[in-house]
Amino acid sequence: MTTYNKTRGQIFSELFLDCHATNPRNVQRGYLLSFISLIVITLSIFNLAVTFMGSRGWESVFSIGGIVGFGIVYALARLGYVQLASGMMILLGCLIGIVSIANPAGLVVFVLVIVLSCFLFNSQVMIAVTMLSSIFLLVLPLFTTISLTLATGLSISIIYFFIAYTSYMTHKQFTDRVTTEQDQIRDLQKTNERNEQELSLNRKTIQMISDVTHQINNVIAASQNLDELFEQTITNIQKMFYFDHVHIYLYHSQEHKLVMTYGSGNLWKRLQEEKHTVNLGVGLVGIAAENKKIIVNNHTRASETYVPTPHLTKIRSQMAIPLQTLHDLTGVLDIQNTHLYPFSQIDKVAMEAVANQLTIAIRDIRAISQIKTRLNNLETVNRRLTQEKWGLSLQHDHVSGYTYTPKSTQANSTDWLPSMDLALEKDSTVDEQTQVVPSETHDKNDIAIPLKLRGEIIGILGLERDANHPWYTNDILAVQTIAEQISLALESMRLSEETKRNAWRDQVVSETTAQVWSSSEIDDVLRAAVSQIGTKLHASEVVIRLGTAEQLAE
């Protein structure tokens, strides 16, 4: 316990100078004391005028002293020293009472001044001064020659006590009301402080949840496939929220069921092997999927709609969050705990945000997977068409290749470099690094770059150098770029030739059919047909006969 040793100066300061006008209650007392002082000063001035007009000139001295004294009281009250002014007013009241002891009217003024002054000082001082003043009035005739009857003293004392009691009760009610208001203010302050603390805590919690969900969203956005997405999401949820079990169900629209797809621990693999499914409307997971609303159950044993997950016998609480976009259901995020009442409103909001991001990620990954599948199918078709087109093109009268040496350039050469075999075995793609193969049979350095178009090999380019001239990276890159351009140029020429052949074919068909349609007799049609076909297609013989299948077979 802390002990305070107060000096006399400190006690005096607390009694008389500690009420400077910093407290609204003291300000009100100061205004009241100033008002009383002005009234008493006015009465004193009036009394002074009467004494000058009468024969009691000696009382003018006390009137002037009262004016000066109450003027000092007024000044102290205005400055805010309420207790000091109240004490001085008590002293002045006592002096007035002594001077006016034989005058009942003066005693009444004396009583009022003392009581009001004590009221402004404090209740303890008021009671003490009232008791002493009453005793003084009662014993005064016994020890002095002042002619004050007992009845007059008792009457004044009764009036004194009545005024004092009324003032005391008024003071008590005023003090109680002020105390009540101060208690209410303190309660409001405590409530505001508590609300501010709760608001600050909620802000910190919301910021923490925002940071956590942001981290989970970053993990979700970085996932490339569904397995990676589910694994990273569940791991981070358990790491940041300390949930016991987290499962993800995907909705199969054809079967109208929710299928266990991924989960925490090893139990989900067992459930997946058992082909665990949930029907719509059954259990918290099924109800959340059917109603497309978050379902939170902090006490599963007290719920009639709870359906336990197989092999999870210690579950006490569960939360199911539907994975949905607009009206389309994707699945359900299932969270279960082994203790009661673990889920708060903040957990619900956080998991809803995670579920929204997870749903979007699932849709995006599925869309990307479908696009990749279509691209792969399209690439396969293009490669097959490229292979077929180039197979047909090479059947025409084209040279099979060229060989260059410093001495000559030969067409349809059968020369072959060792590295060309390896390039064909690798079946490398256009962007794959060219293989460099040192020759074992002769002292040469050779490389081979496949000529590829849409992933299909349409030729091969081989180059050879002396052993003292190795192939550097820039050389290989240059040759690879040239090989790509050669492939494009060959494809362009093939398309040009194919266009020409198609144009020639269309022309032959058009001219032949024009001659056939221009004939007016059957003989003319047959003659025009064999003539045009033989001429246009350079046929050595064209035969056409009419008849049914049976007739022609004879």
In the chain the domains, ranked by start, together with CATH numbers, are 14-188 (no CATH), 223-370 (3.30.450.40), 402-501 (3.30.450.40)
Q: What is the pLDDT of residue 277?
A: 93
Q: What is the pLDDT of residue 284?
A: 93
Distance CA 478, CA 30 (A): 102
How many Cα atoms within 13 Å fall on the side-chain side of residue 475? 13
Spatial CB neighbours of 352, under 8 Å, sequence gap ≥ 6: 294, 321
3-class secondary-structure state, position 245: strand
Spatial CB neighbours of 184, under 8 Å, sequence gap ≥ 6: none
Q: How far are the Cα atoms of 260, 516, 535 from residue 510, in angstroms, in the given order?
A: 65, 10, 14
Residue 538 C-alpha from the chain's centroid: 80
Distance CA 209, CA 353 (A): 10
Buried b (16+ CB within 10 A) or exposed e, 144-166: eeeebeeeebeebbeebbebbee
The residue length of the chain stands at 554
Across the 554 residues of the chain, what is the mean pLDDT of every consecutive 10-residue run?
A: 47 44 60 72 69 52 68 78 73 65 56 59 60 61 52 52 58 69 84 82 73 75 84 87 92 91 87 90 93 92 88 91 88 94 87 88 89 87 80 69 84 77 66 44 75 84 83 86 90 86 89 88 88 87 87 78
Q: What is the pLDDT of residue 94?
A: 65
Place of tokens 């358990």: 238
Q: What is the pLDDT of residue 207?
A: 77
For 157-214, the pLDDT digits (tens) are 555 555 555 555 665 666 677 778 778 888 888 888 888 877 776 777 777 777 777 7
Q: What is the pLDDT of residue 439?
A: 45
Q: What is the pLDDT of residue 14?
A: 45
How many Cα atoms within 13 Å fall on the side-chain side of residue 232? 20
Q: Are 370 and 328 in contact (CB under 8 A)?
A: no
Q: Based on the number of CB atoms within 10 Å of its own CB, is 287 exposed (0-12), middle (13-18) or buried (19 or more)?
A: buried
Rounded to 5 degrees, what angle do the CA atoms 361, 363, 365 make? Answer: 65
Q: What is the pLDDT of residue 107?
A: 56
Q: What is the pLDDT of residue 179?
A: 78
Distance CA 426, CA 296 (A): 58
> Residue 295: which of 231, 343, 353, 357 has the closest Cα?
343
Q: How far are the Cα atoms of 125, 257, 335, 373, 408 from residue 208, in angstroms, in the given order?
A: 59, 36, 20, 40, 78
Distance CA 89, CA 44 (A): 14
CB atoms under 10 Å from CB of 370, counted, come to: 10
Under DSSP, the state recorded for 440 is S
Q: What is the pLDDT of residue 58?
A: 45
> Residue 37: which of 26, 48, 29 has the closest Cα?
29
